[in-house]
């Protein structure tokens, strides 16, 4: 089994379309993990993914008659781009079936790379749905199916990544981390590396909600998932390949499962080191490397992560940025209950001290107590525990929501609403220079004795922080309040007559 794949990989035809990608040191990641971290930059391929290796190797081995009749493929995007580019290079008609959930950036790229040689068909919500439809079309039209992972020629093409890693770094390597969807890359890399360097660990990485290979290896047989998570759409596979499962069972040393937050943090890590933005599937190996290194207490080891794709949908960046801080364990999120009385708001702010507040949401809703949603930048999870103890020692009930999906996805954007208690409410927007401790300084200044009934702030990484504040000011105090606003020294806009405020908050 192994010798056959060694020959296939060594004789693979990939370099007509693929480049030998760099194996680069990730300096910041190395410092943070305490290890020598190397990134195999498959995101630098022409199609921004390793997938063109296997696709082209498969198609280059077809007969002239098969190429003339044409090929068909099912893919969440990256394999499709590889087939499209290969079709154009080999003058071969190609039909590409893609899930309707595929990001537009990948659909457009397939059409661009394939040109007139490619027909795109959108069908189903996952790779498995698209594959079933592609098999039907293949039989109807007499097309050759180019499988994205479960084919020896495809696996051999992907295995050239492992061949390059060993050639590029001939010194000791503790482990190579590789993302797994259907298993083609892991099978190819594992088959090559473990035959030549059995001392090197080859570790697969999957998301916790698309872990078909991990479950299959645990059960010693292929397991079909009922549902797959779509955030890492490039690895959203319900059933791994028969051949890829056989090879992964023989050669992998384990599979690490990572969360969405950990994937987002890995995207940020790679960006900080390379200024490249990986797609979620492309960053899984980095997320797995970080988790594994921490869990095993690794120090001063050489670790390789294959950054296997960079076809990121731009619209996802907002979500990635929001979740990366939690995934890096750099943001803690709390719900804190304080008495609804003068001075308690200020006491809570004083507890925050010089910490960098990332978010602050509050709406008056109860005459006896107030619930505050607050995000705080932390160094470690232990810091979050210390903050919770500090709140509780001061008499404030505090609930740590850092791992609460409902809170992170929805509640943080829904704190607010109408309040019948907010009598004589004025609403102002303020701006202040965004720097650590600036929010606490602002909150301290904003305490002339009037009751705060609404507060919203989120740090977006801009140069100025923007806050919406509701303050209960009796009509007799209006002039004094306006004088106070002027003395604050921050740009301020009165939004009390804003129609959106009247519609949703009064």
For residue range 426-438, what is the model confidence (pLDDT) as tens digits?
Answer: 888 888 776 666 6
What's the token pair of residue 184? 């083609």
Domain(s) of CATH 3.40.50.1100: residues in the chain: 2-49+152-324, 51-145
| Residue scoring higher pLDDT (51 or 351) | 51
Task: For residue 179, list its beta bridge partners.
Answer: 205
| Dist CA 78 CA 73 (whole Å) | 11
Average pLDDT, the chain: 88
CA distances from 375 to 187, 246, 352 (A): 42, 46, 11
Q: Structure pTM?
A: 0.76
**Residue range 448-467: average pLDDT?**
73
Confidence of residue 406 (pLDDT cuts 50, 70, 90): low
The highest-level CATH class for domain 51-145 is alpha beta
| CA gap 354, 14 in Å, rounded | 55
Residue 466 three-state SS: strand
The predicted-structure confidence for 292-334, as pLDDT tens digits, reads as follows 999 999 999 999 999 999 988 787 888 888 778 666 667 888 8
CB proximity list for 415: less than 8 A, separation 6 or greater: 361, 362, 363, 373, 456
Q: Looking at the domain covering 2-49+152-324, what would its CATH class be?
A: alpha beta
| Contact present, 9 and 140 (Cβ < 8 Å) | no
Q: Report whether pLDDT(409) > 80.
A: no
Residue 494: strand pairing partners = 428
Question: d(Cα 100, Cα 357) in Å, to the nearest integer?
Answer: 39
Q: What is the pLDDT of residue 29?
A: 96
Query: In terms of C-beta density within 10 A (0-12 exposed, 13-18 middle, 19 or more buried), how is residue 31 classed?
Result: exposed
* Under 8 Å between Cβ of 25 and 38: yes
Note the residue count of the chain: 506
Write the class of the CATH domain 329-504: alpha beta
User: According to the model, what pLDDT value does residue 217 have?
Assistant: 98
What stretch(es) of the chain map to CATH 3.40.1020.10? 329-504
pLDDT tens-digit readout, 186-217: 999 999 999 999 999 999 999 999 999 999 99
pLDDT in the model for residue 291: 96
Torsion angles phi and psi, residue 45, rounded to 5: -65, 165
Supply the DSSP symbol for 409: I
Distances (CA, A) of 272 to 23, 118, 265, 299, 332: 17, 36, 11, 21, 21
| pLDDT for the residue numbered 448 | 65
Structure tokens given for 379: 């160094």
Say what percent of the chain tops pLDDT 90. 53
């Amino acid at each position: 089994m192994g010798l056959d794949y060694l020959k296939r990989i060594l004789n693979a035809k990939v370099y007509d379309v693929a480049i030998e990608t760099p194996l680069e040191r990730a300096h910041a990641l190395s410092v943070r993990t305490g290890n020598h971290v190397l990134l195999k930059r498959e995101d630098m391929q022409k199609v921004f993914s390793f997938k063109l290796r296997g696709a082209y190797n498969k198609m280059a081995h077809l007969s002239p008659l098969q190429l003339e009749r044409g090929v068909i493929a099912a893919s969440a995007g990256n394999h499709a781009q590889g087939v499209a580019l290969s079709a154009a290079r080999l003058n071969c008609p190609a039909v590409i079936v893609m899930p309707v959930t595929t990001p537009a950036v990948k659909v457009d790229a397939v059409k661009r790379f394939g040109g007139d040689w490619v027909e795109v068909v959108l069908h189903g919500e996952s790779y498995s749905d698209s594959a079933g439809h592609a098999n039907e079309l293949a039989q109807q039209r007499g097309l050759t199916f180019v499988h994205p992972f479960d084919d020896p020629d495809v696996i051999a093409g992907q295995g050239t990544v492992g061949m390059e890693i060993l050639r590029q770094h001939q010194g000791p390597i503790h482990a190579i981390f590789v993302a797994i969807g259907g298993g083609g890359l892991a099978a190819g890399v594992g088959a090559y590396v473990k035959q030549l360097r059995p001392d090197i660990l080859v570790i697969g990485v999957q998301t916790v909600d698309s872990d078909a290979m991990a479950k299959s290896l645990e059960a010693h047989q292929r397991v079909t998932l009922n549902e797959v998570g779509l955030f890492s759409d490039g690895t959203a596979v319900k059933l791994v390949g028969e051949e890829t499962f056989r090879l992964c069972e023989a050669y992998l040393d384990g599979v690490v499962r990572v969360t969405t937050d950990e994937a987002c943090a890995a995207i940020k890590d790679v960006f900080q080191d390379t200024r490249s933005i990986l797609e979620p599937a492309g960053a899984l190996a980095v997320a797995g490397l970080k988790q594994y290194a921490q869990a095993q207490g690794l120090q001063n080891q050489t670790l390789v992560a294959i950054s296997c794709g960079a076809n990121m949908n731009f619209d996802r960046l907002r979500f990635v940025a929001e979740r990366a801080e939690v995934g890096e364990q750099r943001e803690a999120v709390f719900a804190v209950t304080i008495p609804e009385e003068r001075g308690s708001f200020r006491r809570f702010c004083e507890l925050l001290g010089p910490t960098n507040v990332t978010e602050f949401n509050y709406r008056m809703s109860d005459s006896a107590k107030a619930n505050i949603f607050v995000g705080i930048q932390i160094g470690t999870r232990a810091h979050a525990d210390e903050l919770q103890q500090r709140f509780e020692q001061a008499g404030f009930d505090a609930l740590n929501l850092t791992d609460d999906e409902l809170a992170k996805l929805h509640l943080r954007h829904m704190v607010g609403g109408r309040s019948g208690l907010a009598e004589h409410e004025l609403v102002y927007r303020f701006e202040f220079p965004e720097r650590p401790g600036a929010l606490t300084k602002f909150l301290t200044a904003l305490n002339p004795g009037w009751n705060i009934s609404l507060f919203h702030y989120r740090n977006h990484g801009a140069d100025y922080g923007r806050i919406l504040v509701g303050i209960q000011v009796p009509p007799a105090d209006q002039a004094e309040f306006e004088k106070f606003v002027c003395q604050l020294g921050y740009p301020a806009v009165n939004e009390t007559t804003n129609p959106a405020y009247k519609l949703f908050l009064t």
